[in-house]
Structure 1
C-alpha cells in the first residue's frame, strides 16, 4: 500500500475550545476516503504559513492564512491549495502555478449564502434596522417617525459585477419588483436580457440606482473602482452595499460621502483593512451598517464551501483535475501531471 495522501487544514478553522467553529464542513468525506489522512497545520494566525509547515502535505485546505512563495519552499509534495471561499487574495497564485500547485475556490458553496447576505444587508439598511433597534434600547420608541425606511418595490438595483453571486442576487430580488441594472464587461448579454437585467456602464448604473450592490472580484482593475468621483455620481437617497472585497471601494471617500450625507447610507461586510482600526471615523457614523466579513457565515455556507473544497482534495487524491481552478495552467505542469499518473 502506498503512502497516504496527506491534507493539512489551517488552524483558524478552530475556535477557542479547539472545535471547528464553522460546524459541519463535510470532513466526514475525508475520514471515509481510503488512503487519505488529514490534520491541522501549526497556527499561523492570519499571517503567512511559514516554510516547512506544509512539508509532507499533498493538499491544503485554507481559510485566512497566506500562502506565499516562501510557504512553498521545500513543499515538494504539495499539489493543491483548496481555498475555503471564492476570494484568493491570500494566495500567491503565480508562485503556485510555477510550482505546479493548483489553486481552487468554492463558487458553488458561496453563491446562495453570499447573495442572501447581500439582500439581508440591503433590506436591513433600507429599513433602518440598526436605528430602530437603538430606539427600543434607548427608550426613544416614539421617535420612530424620524426613521422612515425605503421599500424596494419600484426602485432600481444596480449590481457592480454580474457573475456567480450577482446573478443569484438578481434571482433572489426578482419578486421584489425592482428594476435591475448591472455593470460588468464580462457579463453574458443574452443571459442578462433573459433575466431582465439591463447591462449599462458603471457611471450610468451609479447615477440611476437606488441600491448599489458590489459583487465583483477584487483585481488590479477593480481596486478603488468606486472612488470619490464615482461615489459622487450616486443619488443622494441611494445606498451602497459591499459584500465583495473592501478595496473595491475607496473607504476614505465613502466615509466622507456618508458623513456629509451625500448618499443615504451604506452596509459593509468588508473593509480596506480588516479588522478596521477602532478609531476609524467610519465606525462612528450612524448611517452605515457594519459586519465583520462574516454576514454570510451560516451553516449553509460552511457545509457548501467545505464540500466543494473537499471534493477538490479528493479529485486530486484520485488523480483527477479538480473543479474551479483559478490557475488551470498548473494542471499541465510536469509535477502535477506526474502526480496524476502516479495516482492512476
Structure 2
C-alpha cells in the first residue's frame, strides 16, 4: 500500500498524478510500484495533476517517478532540498531541463530497456498498417464501399529497402523484427559505431541517402536541436513517390507542413504518424482527412508490456539511488561531478566511480 507521504528519516518517492484516471486507478496498470513496497520505501501519488512539477509538488521527496509533467528551472525554485532523482517513465526527455537538474545535483533517468521492444513492435505495426492501407480498408467495410477495394492495393514489405533515421537501441530491435521480411536496412546515425551497424547487417549512409533510397523511411531518433526538422521539404523531395514515411519518435523531427504538402502533391505515397508537431493536433489539421495516412495519439506502443517494462526500469533506478548506487540510464552524466550528489548518495560520483547497475 502506498504510504501517506514523505516520512522523516525514510526514503520517500512521489509518483506523478497523471498516472491516475478520475476514479483513482492507474491507467497504465501494473507499473511495478509493489517493488517499492517490498523494499520498505514510502511512496505516494502527488497531490495534483500538473503539466509542470513545482516545489509545492515535490519538496521533501528523495525521488520522483513521472510521465507527463515537465521538469523546468522553475521546478527547483523554493525547494528546501531537491530530489536526488527524477525517474522518467519513458525514453523522451525533451520536457526535462537537464541543465537545471544538473545544477541542483539531481539525476535524471529514462527507461530505454522497458520501451525498446514495445516501440520497435509499434513501428513494425505502423509500417504494415501503412503499406496495407489498413485504416482505409476498414472504412470501406464500415461504410458499405466494398466495391472500391481494388483502389486500395497495398505494398508488400518483403524484399523492400527500409531506411532508419536513428539507429539507437529501439531501432536496433526493429532491425531484428524486420529480418523475416528479408528487407535491406539502411540507416543514418552519426553516433552509431560502424562496427555495430555491420554486426546488425545495416548499411550506414547520410540522411539524404536514406530519404532517396528507402521504400519506407522510419524516424526513430531523439529530438534535439540537431534533429529538429531533420525531415524538411528538401529531404521529402528526395523520396520516391512510391515510398512512405513513418514517425514514431517526436513530432518536431518532421516538418509537418512540408509533409502535408508532399502528401497532397503525391510526392510521397503515404505516412504513419504516432507523433505530431503540436499535440494533440487541431481538428482542422489536414492530416486527419487523408486516407493515405495512419494516425495514432502518441500511444501506439502503449501495452501491458510497456507498462511493466517502463515501470520496472524506473523503479529499479529508484531502488538503486535508495541504496546508494548510481542507476543505469542517467541522461545528465555531468551531474556525476556535483558535490551535493556525492554527499547525499554517500559514495564518490565524480567520473562515475559509484557502483552502477548493469
TM-score when scaled to structure 2? 0.93
CA contact (8 A) 2:76 2:82 kept: no
Provide the rounded CA distance (Å) in 2 between the counterparts of 1:275 and 1:222.
21
Provide the rounded CA distance (Å) in 2 between the counterparts of 1:283 and 1:146.
20
What does residue 60 of structure 2 align with? Answer: 56
What does residue 325 of structure 2 align with? Answer: 320
Between 1:219-228 and 1:76-85, the stretch displaced more is 76-85
DSSP 3-state at the match of 1:53: helix
Pairing 1:82-101 to 2, within 5 Å after superposition: 82-101=87-106
CA contact (8 A) 1:31 1:37 kept: yes
- Pick one of 221, 228, 240 that aligns with 2:226: 221
Residue 124 of structure 1 pairs with residue 124 of structure 2: no
Between 1:70-79 and 1:105-114, the stretch displaced more is 70-79
CA contact (8 A) 1:213 1:241 kept: yes
Gaps of 5+ in 2: 1-6, 349-353
Residue 147 of structure 1 pairs with residue 167 of structure 2: no
Deviation (angstroms), 1:194: 2.0
Provide the rounded CA distance (Å) in 2 between the counterparts of 1:21 and 1:291.
18
Pairing 1:148-187 to 2, within 5 Å after superposition: 148-187=153-192
What does residue 25 of structure 1 align with? Answer: 31
Provide the rounded CA distance (Å) in 1 between the counterparts of 2:168 and 2:82.
34
Residues 297-322 of structure 1 deviation map (CA, whole Å, 9 limit, x = unaligned): 00000100000000000111111111
Provide the rounded CA distance (Å) in 2 between the counterparts of 1:31 and 1:110.
23
Distance change >3 Å, CA 11–CA 2, structure 1 → 2: closer
Pairing 1:294-305 to 2, within 5 Å after superposition: 294-305=299-310
**Structure 1 runs of 4+ off > 4 angstroms?**
none
DSSP 3-state at the match of 2:148: helix
CA contact (8 A) 1:240 1:266 kept: yes
Residue 72 of structure 1 pairs with residue 83 of structure 2: no
CA contact (8 A) 2:48 2:57 kept: no
* Number of equivalences: 342
CA contact (8 A) 2:89 2:311 kept: yes
Residues 155-209 of structure 1 deviation map (CA, whole Å, 9 limit, x = unaligned): 1100000011111111110110111100111112112112211111111111110
Gaps of 5+ in 1: none
TM-score when scaled to structure 1? 0.97
Deviation (angstroms), 1:217: 0.4
CA contact (8 A) 1:54 1:72 kept: no
Residue 8 of structure 1 pairs with residue 6 of structure 2: no
Residues 9-54 of structure 1 deviation map (CA, whole Å, 9 limit, x = unaligned): 11000112210000110011011112x1101113233x21223211
CA contact (8 A) 1:108 1:308 kept: yes
Between 1:282-291 and 1:122-131, the stretch displaced more is 282-291
Q: Could you say what the CA RMSD is over the residues aligned between the two structures, in angstroms?
A: 1.6
Provide the rounded CA distance (Å) in 2 between the counterparts of 1:207 and 1:318.
50
Between 1:106-115 and 1:185-194, the stretch displaced more is 185-194
Deviation (angstroms), 1:342: 8.4
CA contact (8 A) 1:321 1:331 kept: no
Residue 261 of structure 1 pairs with residue 266 of structure 2: yes
Provide the rounded CA distance (Å) in 1 between the counterparts of 2:229 and 2:109.
26
